[in-house]
Amino acid sequence: MGIEALPRGEHAHPLFFWLGTVAVSAGVVLHLPMYVRSASMNFHLAGMSFDAEMFFGMALIVAGTAASYYGLLPSSSHSPASIVKAAATLERDMTRDTGRLRWAHWQLLLVLTVAVAIDSMKPASLGFIVPGTAAEYGLSREVVALLPFCALSGLVIGSYVWGIIADRVGRRAAILLAGIMFVGTAICGSMPQFELNLFMCFMMGMAAGGMLPITYALLAECIPTRHRGWSLVLVGAFGLIGGWFAASGAAALFEPHFGWRILWFFSAPTGLVLILCNNLIPESPRFLLARGRYDEARELVERYAVPLNPQGWVDAEAPRPGSIDRAGELIFGRFRATTVTLNFVACAWGLVNFGILLWMPANLRARGYSVAGSNELLFYSSMLALPTTIFVAFLYSQWSTKWTLVLLAVLTAFGLLGVSMFDSSIGTFRAHPLIVFSILMVGVNGIIGVLLPYAAENYPVLIRGRATGLVSGSSKFGGLAVNALTIVALIPNLVVAAAALIIPIALSGSLVARYGEETRNRHLE
């Protein structure tokens, strides 16, 4: 793969991107010697001092990230106001081809599934890292809760920031920049002080926060209408469950032998895999039109074998009445009810995912499970939940988008009910935790797998990145609330928390049933 393969944009600077990638990778490698030397101490680094290699490595990572961003940045753009007619023309051209997916589509689906799995592996790893962090630094549950709190803060901010980058610089550029930050933040595994772990977790959250919503925005704008629903859900569901599968599998296989820090170091190779697959990630044709890059848009849709009608692609007229290109429309315009509903669902999901699943390894160990036993239980739960994603995708694409989301909210509520019954006199739930956790994972992973594609389909192109980023950020905001309660020692135990969270999940399903729009087979614009 040559330098010219990235980026595709006619004004980008690929040499800077690759130099930045090499610098960031070298910076991470320079942090490994200290970790390797700690093997005799069970890979504990607490209290150790930085060496010169680590300081130089940090400088390389900062400089390399800046160079990579410059390499992805186009030097000029055109006003979005002049391209609405051209975007509408391309919309008709793209949706006219409702036949089979082309090879380029399948490549895109595969690489973005990997991207989502890599992205979701980061926050999923937190649950397995927290117990080891607390043990190494001698921290209470309330203090160690600062780790996921900082990570979730980064996820929230990253979702908003990456949404802006995607709408201003490009969907593809935002995804690749997140990959660079995945590599650089792997040094979280070598931080000797707990305070530095908090900072690096925040930065890792910043990187991971934007990947998921931008992936859905890009897919929604590249996949033909007929195939959009099921493909978006499968990419999200397989990616999210795959991320949990990878995190729990890595924890079960490597943590007992190499300590909890090894889970952070996996960010480097996984981020590099995403970057090396860059040639399979196209820019959104609608974004190219929005920036007046007509030649690139033509080349891209020809790559996807779309029958074209290029008349009207240039010298476009003024925007049609009602065209949306202002972020204020998300809250104060005609999308107000949709925005409130989707963000409430996202917050409710965050409460469950980060309030229940994030702390599940620690809670299971507190209930008598060993490290290996708790990791294996959650690993098998995620493995059982994986095949059901095909059924969810079928419902989303062939039955109803909004009612599939409602159904998954009901399923999540049922899983929470099962967890809340663990200490009751009904022994069925307590005796079959694998079934209960599998149901909960199907619902939780199904909601986020459907919610972000659904959000991407509800908003027009000029605000799609920010809208999807806002919903994604809200999904982490619920986790912030949970961890804030943990820090001040107000978090209830697992059973009580599960019972309490049934209410917001049920309410979120009701809001979607009342205010949700049906988007199945509907054109994006």
Residue type, 505: I
Q: What is the pLDDT of residue 322?
A: 39
Question: Of all residues in the chain, what percent carry a pLDDT higher than 90?
Answer: 7
Q: What is the pLDDT of residue 327?
A: 57
Domain housing 239: 3-319+333-515
How far is CA 107 from each of CA 12, 102, 220, 241, rounded to the nearest angstrom?
A: 23, 9, 15, 20
Q: Under a CB-based contact definition with an 8 Å cutoff, are residues 224 and 94 in contact?
A: yes
pLDDT in tens, 466-508: 888 888 888 877 777 776 766 665 565 667 777 778 899 999 9
Answer yes or no: is 328 within a domain: no
Answer yes or no: is 522 within a domain: no
Answer yes or no: is 500 within a domain: yes
CA distance 392 to 220: 18
pLDDT band at 428 (very low <50, low <70, confident <90, very high): low
Answer yes or no: is 243 within a domain: yes
Q: What is the pLDDT of residue 433?
A: 64
Answer yes or no: is 350 within a domain: yes
Give the DSSP per-residue string, 63-98: HHHHHHHHHH--S----GGG-HHHHHHHHHHHHH--
CA distance 94 to 96: 5
Answer yes or no: is 525 within a domain: no
- Is the Cα dihedral 201, 204, 210, 215 positive or negative? negative
Q: Under a CB-based contact definition with an 8 Å cutoff, are residues 281 and 176 in contact?
A: yes
Answer yes or no: is 523 within a domain: no
The enclosing domain of 280 has a CATH number of 1.20.1250.20
Question: Of all residues in the chain, what percent carry a pLDDT higher than 70?
Answer: 73
pLDDT band at 214 (very low <50, low <70, confident <90, very high): confident
Answer yes or no: is 297 within a domain: yes
- Is the Cα dihedral 144, 145, 148, 149 positive or negative? negative
Question: Which residue has 């995912």 as its token pair?
Answer: 353
Q: What is the pLDDT of residue 26?
A: 93
Question: What distance lies between CA 212 and its chain's CA centroid?
Answer: 3
User: What radius of gyration do the chain's Cα atoms show?
Assistant: 23
Choice among 95-109, 454-468, 496-510 with the minimum mean pLDDT: 95-109
Q: What is the pLDDT of residue 79?
A: 45
Overall domain count for the chain: 1
How far is CA 262 from each of CA 42, 351, 377, rounded to the nearest angstrom?
A: 12, 27, 21
Q: What is the pLDDT of residue 516?
A: 84
CA distance 475 to 285: 28
Q: Which of 307-321, 399-413, 422-436 has the highest mean pLDDT?
A: 399-413
For the record, the structure tokens of 426 come out as 């009904």
- Per DSSP, 100 falls in state P
pLDDT in tens, 361-416: 555 655 555 555 555 556 656 666 667 777 888 888 888 888 999 999 998 888 88
| Mean of pLDDT values over 322-346 | 73
Question: Which residue, 167, 215, 518, 170, is CA-closest to 327?
Answer: 167
Q: What is the pLDDT of residue 501?
A: 82
